[in-house]
Structure 1
Amino acid sequence: MKFLFLAALACLAVRLLAGRWPWELWGPNAREAAEKRALNLLGLRADAGYDEVIEAHRRLMLKVHPDRGGTNDAVHEANAARDLLLARISNRGPDGRG
């Protein structure tokens, strides 16, 4: 019982000091992994800007749209990738950093 209490206390201490839970420090978090998948799907670099995201999304939609033999799932995935990357861009400060 003491071990569980100490482990919980240690987790809270890491959270307060680092701003993240201990398990978030061990590897890429879910958002970083999702951004990496979105960048790969749209064929972009990590520093892609707004116009690049829009253009890459447009090119992908030309390939995966149901009217061109694609699927609704592919369209939803492309839209989600675009939305995630545009949200990341809008959250950056004026100097380009988050």
Structure 2
Amino acid sequence: MNISETVNSILYRFVNESTAKTDNENTGNMSKGEALKILGLTEDAKSNDINQAYHNLMKSIHPDKGGSAYLAQKINEARDVLLK
């Protein structure tokens, strides 16, 4: 499996899990655990790890490269949650 297929698999799994939640559970605020899952990181990830994972994912999923605007938004949100 190449990186693009891996990225798509992780992100689509996350999206499906997120949309399966009830309205009460889905507040629109991403948790740290969700952010780590999206970027494929562990709890001990440092800011340089977060940025590297972010850039690698955006290379393959960015809308300008034919990717999804929704998934790019989720990657941005995940980075922001972890770097705050």
Q: Which runs of 5+ in 2 are unaligned?
A: 1-26
- Residue aligning to 2:69: 72
Among 56, 60, 67, the alignment partner of 1:63 is 60
Deviations 1:14-52 (A, max 9, x none): xxxxxxxxxxxxxxxx8xx71111101101010100100
Aligned-partner residue type, residue 56 of structure 1: A
- Residue aligning to 2:16: none
Aligned-partner residue type, residue 47 of structure 1: D
Alignment of 1:11-90 (within 5 A): 34-87=31-84
Percent identity reads: 38
The separation in 2 between residues aligned to 1:63 and 1:77, in whole angstroms, is: 14
TM-score, normalization: structure 2?
A: 0.61
Size of the alignment, in residue pairs? 56
Q: Which is helix-richer, 1 or 2?
A: 1
The separation in 1 between residues aligned to 2:31 and 2:58, in whole angstroms, is: 19
Q: Which ranges of 4 or more aligned residues in structure 1 deviate by more than 4 Å?
A: none
Q: Which runs of 5+ in 1 are unaligned?
A: 1-29, 88-98
The separation in 1 between residues aligned to 2:61 and 2:32, in whole angstroms, is: 20
Greater radius of gyration (CA): 1
- Residue aligning to 1:25: none
